[in-house]
Structure 1
Amino acid sequence: MPAYLIRHRSGQRGDILVEGDDVALTFSGPWAVLSDAQGPTLAIPAEQAGEIQRLDPDSEPADEPGEE
C-alpha cells in the first residue's frame, strides 16, 4: 500500500504518515493536498512541509540527514 511521509521543517514536531491504496498528492496554490477516492484526507500549507516523500510498499523511509 503506498503512503506519503510528511516531515515538517526543522524545529517543528510531528511527522505525518498518510497511507491508502489510492492516496494521491497534488498541490493547490500554497497547499499540499493528499486525497483518496472519497476526497481530500489532509491539506497542509506546503511551506510547513520540509519534505514529502512517497513510500512504496517495499521502500524504507530515508534516514535523517547526517544519520548513519
Structure 2
Amino acid sequence: MPAYLIRHRAGERGDILVEGNDLTLTLTDNWAVLSDTHGPTLAIPAEQTSDIQRIDPEDGPADEPAEE
C-alpha cells in the first residue's frame, strides 16, 4: 500500500505517515493536500512541511536491510 511521509520543519509537530491504496498528492502555492476517492483526507500548510516523501510498498522501511 503506498504511503506518504510528511516531515515537519524543525521545531514543529511530529512527522505524519498517511497510507492508502488510492492516495494522491496535490501541491498548491500554500497547501499540500492528500486525497482519495472520497475527497481530501489531509491538508497541511506548505510552510509547515520540510518535505513529503512517497513510500511505495517495494521500498520498505529505510532501516531494514534488503532481502537477497
Q: Check whether TM > 0.5.
A: yes
Corresponding position of 1:16: 16
Give the structure 2 partner of residue 66 of structure 1: none
Q: Which runs of 4+ in 1 moved over 3 A?
A: 60-63
Q: 1:24-63, aligned counterparts within 5 Å?
A: 24-60=24-60
Q: Report the RMSD for the aligned CA atoms in angstroms.
A: 1.5
Paired-residue identity, %: 71
Q: Which moved more, 1:47-56 or 1:27-36?
A: 27-36
Query: Residue 22 of structure 2 aligns to a residue in which SS?
Result: coil
Please give the TM-score of this superposition, normalised by the length of structure 2.
Answer: 0.82
Unaligned runs of 5+ in 1: 64-68
Q: Matched residues in 1 for 2:47 and 2:9: separation?
A: 8
Larger Rg: 2
- Distance (whole Å) between structure 1 residues aligned to residue 61 and residue 41 of structure 2: 21
